[in-house]
Amino acid sequence: MDEPRTWPALVIREISPRDEAAARSGGTLAPADLLAALLDDFSPAAIEDLTLQPLPPGGLWDPTFPPIPDPPPSPLQWRVFFSSVDARADAAAAIERTFPALELSLEDVGDGDWAARSQRELCAITAGTFIVAPPWDRPEPVPAGMKVIVIEPSRGFGTGHHASTRQCLRALSDVDVRDRRVLDLGTGSGVLAMAAALGGAREVRAVDVDPDAIEAARESAALNQLPLSIGFAVSDYRESGDEAHDVVLANLTSGMLISSAPRLRELVAPGGLLIMSGFDEAERGAVRRALDPMNDVAVYVEDGWVGLVLRR
């Protein structure tokens, strides 16, 4: 039997965030495009970006003005795979000459490590009575009283790992949505819409302004045995003709919730519920005041993130 292949890899790290203007004027820090151009001379087999990306504060899209400023750049951290040890050595020598501020280390990575790393990074999470799992970590057997939602995470539209999504899932565990009409705003991966369907909703409509998000949500919904077909649609709820629903889900940013508060109230039927998250303790007061005179039903807090359930 053939031995599994081992790939010579070079891990490249910046000690401090890159300053592309300084790099282009002769500084020592390496912008990503210049480093990629140098590496291209050594025909790398693959480049894996290890940089930790900050999670968005809530929903996928927030058109509030002025826009939230971009976060400061994160230090570059790449794992570069080569077809031979000699190619790795030559690339390392060239990087040391050109970008002396970078830190280099050598690794030998087996083929099987790729899948293992992916599976370690994204595993099943539990929130209320729901388990949100990637296809490779679906629990078997399913614990009594729990409902499993399978999400394909490759599209990057949310898997339940963010606290704001977990707040909404906990609220959906406590709220009776049986035989109710549910509207999910900024659906992203569709995880909340699927949770409502599994909770016994009579009808679920899920909208997002991003066509890629809707496509990803439909693909993930197909991985699940849902009791009804969810109505996914590309739509801006602020301008749509959607009528009032019994339960409205809004995992959005604080700016979005505040600016569209009158429309959100319209979308909740009299006596209906608004389940929302995507804001922290510091933003909670402003969000809550914007939605007066709705009544408080429940509050959820985790890691500084807040979820609210209000009744019209």
Torsion angles phi and psi, residue 121, rounded to 5: -75, -35
Of 117, 148, 177, at which residue does a domain stop?
117
pLDDT digit string (tens) for 253-295? 888 899 999 999 999 999 999 999 989 899 999 999 999 999 9
- Over 70: is that where the pLDDT of 195 sits? yes
Q: Which CATH number goes with the domain that contains 217? A: 3.40.50.150
Count how many domains the chain has: 2
215 and 280: one domain? Answer: yes
158 and 28: one domain? Answer: no
Per-position DSSP letters for 228-297, written without gaps between them: S--EEEE--TTTS----EEEEEEE--HHHHHHTHHHHHHHEEEEEEEEEEEEEHHHHHHHHHHTTTPEEE
For range 223-251, the mean pLDDT: 94
The answer to whether the beta carbons of residues 28 and 101 sit under 8 Å apart is: yes
Region for 155 from its dihedrals, namely left if φ exceeds 0, alpha if ψ lies in -120 to 50, beta otherwise:
alpha
Highest averaged pLDDT of the listed ranges 25-34, 40-49, 85-94? 85-94
- 204: containing domain: 122-311
Per-position DSSP letters for 197-247, written without gaps between them: HHTT-SEEEEEES-HHHHHHHHHHHTTS--SS--EEEE--TTTS----EEE
For range 28-46, the mean pLDDT: 74
In a domain, 70, yes or no: yes
Q: What is the mean pLDDT of the chain?
A: 83
Residue 72, pLDDT score = 59
217 and 108: one domain? Answer: no
Q: Which CATH number goes with the domain that contains 106? A: 3.30.70.120
Residue 117, pLDDT score = 56
34 and 21: one domain? Answer: yes
Greatest CA span in the chain, whole angstroms? 71
Torsion angles phi and psi, residue 68, rounded to 5: -65, 130
pLDDT digit string (tens) for 82-110? 888 999 999 999 999 988 889 999 999 87
Instruction: Look up the pTM and report it.
Output: 0.66
CA-CA distances (angstroms) from residue 38 to 32, 107, 282?
Answer: 10, 20, 45
64 and 174: one domain? Answer: no
pLDDT digit string (tens) for 129-167? 999 998 888 888 999 999 999 987 644 445 566 788 999
